[in-house]
């Protein structure tokens, strides 16, 4: 009786008798093309201007009004100036807290877009395919980006904010850390 032919020899295993595992490709982003880091920064800058310009106008209007009402009394001028500054900071904070969630929760074609993202042509999408609503946008923009990254940056100045904003530069799916936390992607619209 003849022995069956042997299969061709495979490359030799390393001396320890183990073989290198085969690297499996992880599924990546499947969808529309992702937004570049530069387009994300440009949209952020436009959004910053949209919030900062009215806030600056409100601040100087309140300061001018406070100084005008106080007249020549320097003590009254100081307190009026301080009150105007505090009021303008509160107005700025309210605008900043509401702006992104309110604009990103719009229905239709502009869902997931602030005005800055809309001008640049990018949008935030949820990984599960659901539309962006006010509360999800508030979680992403206010709680995670604002409070969580802001709190971490108060402990270790500047580094958490820098890491979060620069993370898309080396992430395969152009995600920032806040995108990973809330399972979103930023894509071209």
Classify each residue of 31-61 as buried b or exposed e, where b means 16 or more C-beta atoms within 10 Å of its C-beta. eeebbbbebbebbeebbeebbeeebeebbee
Is 10 inside any structural domain? no
Is 117 inside any structural domain? yes
Q: 32: helix, coil or strand?
A: coil
Q: What is the pLDDT of residue 21?
A: 53
Per-residue pLDDT of the chain (189 residues; tens, 9 = 90+): 566 555 555 555 455 554 545 545 556 666 789 999 999 999 999 999 999 888 888 888 877 777 776 666 667 677 777 877 788 888 888 888 899 999 999 999 999 999 999 999 999 999 998 999 999 999 999 999 989 998 998 899 999 999 999 999 999 999 999 999 999 999 998
Q: What is the pLDDT of residue 42?
A: 97
Is 24 inside any structural domain? no
Structural domain of 45: 37-188
> What is the number of alpha carbons within 13 Å of residue 7 lying toward its C-beta?
2
Beta-carbon neighbour count of residue 81 at 10 Å?
Answer: 15
Q: What is the pLDDT of residue 85?
A: 79
Backbone φ/ψ region at 31: left (φ over 0), alpha (ψ -120 to 50), beta: left
Number of domains the chain is built from: 1
Is 50 inside any structural domain? yes
| Whole-angstrom distance, CA of residue 165 vs CA of residue 146 | 12
Contact by Cβ (8 Å): 96, 89: no
pTM, whole model, 2 decimals?
Answer: 0.75
Is 57 inside any structural domain? yes
Is 4 inside any structural domain? no
| Whole-angstrom distance, CA of residue 24 vs CA of residue 42 | 36
Q: What is the pLDDT of residue 17?
A: 52
Is 23 inside any structural domain? no
């Amino acid at each position: 009786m003849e022995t069956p032919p042997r299969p061709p020899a495979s490359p030799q295993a390393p001396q320890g008798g183990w073989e290198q595992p085969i690297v499996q490709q992880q599924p990546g982003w499947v969808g529309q093309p992702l937004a570049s880091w530069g387009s994300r920064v440009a949209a952020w800058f436009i959004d910053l201007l949209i919030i900062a310009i009215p806030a600056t106008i409100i601040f100087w209007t309140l300061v001018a009004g406070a100084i005008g009402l106080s007249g020549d009394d320097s003590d009254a001028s100081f307190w009026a100036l301080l009150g105007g500054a505090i009021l303008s900071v509160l107005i700025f904070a309210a605008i900043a807290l509401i702006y992104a969630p309110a604009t990103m929760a719009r229905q239709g074609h502009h869902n997931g877009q602030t005005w800055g993202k809309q001008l640049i042509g990018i949008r935030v999408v949820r990984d599960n395919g659901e539309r962006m609503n006010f509360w999800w946008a508030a979680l992403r923009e206010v709680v995670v980006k604002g409070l969580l990254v802001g709190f971490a940056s108060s402990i270790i100045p500047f580094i958490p904010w820098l890491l979060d904003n620069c993370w898309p530069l080396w992430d395969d799916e152009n995600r920032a850390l806040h995108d990973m936390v809330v399972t979103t992607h930023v894509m071209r619209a």
